[in-house]
Structure 1
């Protein structure tokens, strides 16, 4: 094992590894280690949007308590969060991420000194470096997690995050994007009916009732009134679902939790 002392003290490790993240970070530079790229939030999305951390930043920008705290220079209901995240309205996401990515980086007390460790037939010894500044409990926990990675590499995604702000649950970027897009559309058009919001956002509903499609009734020359009523109801339900999810996500991110859709 190599002992590594942090806080500017000399150590025997040649260099610290690049920051690692449990979930895919935004891709501006190839300096990160990512296990698997997530599905994009929409077709053609740039790589820096293909990250839960981009949506963390976006949802926080829509939290009114956090906005008020930023306006008051860090004084307000989100003062503690402000000390970590800063004034997110004065920077682009790329600028903000360059300074604050450490909030989401994994900070294990122990790490492999090489990336290709596995137990072989001839040797069962690996080299590990330890950051002694993080305390014995953190070291013990990290060593147990490294041991699990060696024995059960497929369970890597289940490991507990050591980030300052861990991702609360497995994110689905398509849903995060849609919830926020519907929320923003509602803010822009506060008086537009929900079914019209659904049309603007391309939220489709099955155009049928009792197993009969709307187009089939049209071909027969029958009234589509019942199907149209069901269609409007389905569109309203879809929009209300997205708005409710967006509201809960915005509330949760103001508590430093994302993505969560439950009341604190």
Structure 2
């Protein structure tokens, strides 16, 4: 494990800035998800399992595509990625359907792996400050509380202070202090599409054109060219080669974009960052 204090989770409820994986328990009466966060998430793909409605699931999947980390797992955690292995463990010891087992695996420190890696540290508690230092961070306000004021008035004033500093408050609450913070906001459906492109490319790169692989990956592209479509021209018995070539060009470009993104994500996930693109 990385050398950090295990006191991270000893106080308060475990909290994730991004929705963690859920088993997907439902109300018997309505069939709706009990978790309000899960109910608000757009499924990344058709028939996705509840625990796949999370960026942390895709973090795990992209790490499984990293060849260097795969070699590290095969060697029992030895080599270049041994520090990352100490935290994430052997992700190849599980099949996709066993992701939940990896996420909930108990570690030597008594915590579940997913919580250790991605949960926020315990919230700092209100305390009396001896003095204000020049090194006071931007995400903390030092408030002087007159003890003779009654509690309802104190609460009202504190809420007013937070409203006055709402920009600072919002910035602090959106800044992750997890051991492995999510690097960027990317739609789960986009991550799923990117993963599909990577898998199809590695399976068929020597046997199919990119536009054919784009079809297999079901990448959506605009198929209307100057108001015409291939199917429409075929039905009318007209030439459609130029329109078809333009659609294939668009498919090739879209496939290359997703493939480049997949390469970036896999490269950076091996460095402990996800989902992160490389700068051009």
TM-score strictly above 0.5: yes
Q: Which residue of 2 aligns with 1:96?
A: 102
Per-residue CA shift, 1:46-92, capped at 9, x if unaligned? 21000000000000000011011111121112111111111111133
Aligned pairs (5 A) from 1:112-191: 128=126, 143-144=140-141, 150-151=162-163, 152=166, 155=170, 159-190=174-205, 191=207
Equivalent pairs counted in the alignment come to 232
Most deviating of 161-170 and 20-29: 20-29
The change in CA–CA distance for 1:232 and 1:35 in structure 2 (over 3 A counts) is closer
Q: What secondary structure is seen at the aligned counterpart in 1 of 2:56?
A: helix
User: C-alpha root-mean-square deviation of aligned residues, in Å?
Assistant: 3.6
1:169-204 deviations in whole A, cap 9, x for unaligned? Answer: 112101000000111112222321111112222223
Structure 1 residue 39, shift from structure 2 partner: 2.1
Q: Which residue of 2 aligns with 1:110?
A: 124
Q: 1:199 to 1:34 in 2, by over 3 A?
A: closer
Q: Does 1:25 align with 2:20?
A: yes
Per-residue deviation, 1:218 = 3.7
**2: CA distance, partners of 1:219 / 1:202:** 23
1: CA distance between counterparts of 2:16 and 2:122?
A: 11
| Structure with greater proportional strand content | 1
Q: Which one of the candidate residues 69, 74, 78 is aligned to 2:77?
A: 74
| TM-score normalized by the length of structure 1 | 0.74
Unpaired stretches in structure 1, ≥5 consecutive residues: 1-5, 9-14, 112-127, 131-135
Question: 1:215 deviation in Å?
Answer: 4.3
Q: After the TM superposition, which of the residue ranges 177-186 and 84-93 deviates more from structure 2?
A: 84-93
CA–CA separation in structure 2 for the residues paired with 1:109 and 1:167: 19
| Alignment counterpart, residue 57 of structure 2, candidates 54, 59, 73 | 54
**TM-score when normalising by structure 2:** 0.71
- Contact 1:110-1:139 within 8 A present in 2 as well: no
1:125 aligns with none
Describe the shift of the 1:157–1:223 C-alpha distance in structure 2 as closer, same or farther (beyond 3 A). farther
Separation in 1 of the partners of 2:238 and 2:6?
Answer: 77
* Cα distance in 1 between the residues matched to 2:221 and 2:245: 12
Distance 1:54 1:138 in 2: 37
Q: Which secondary structure state, in structure 2, belongs to the residue aligned with residue 24 of structure 1?
A: coil
Q: By how many angstroms is 1:239 displaced? A: 1.2
Extract unaligned runs of 5+ from structure 2.
Answer: 26-33, 105-111, 143-157
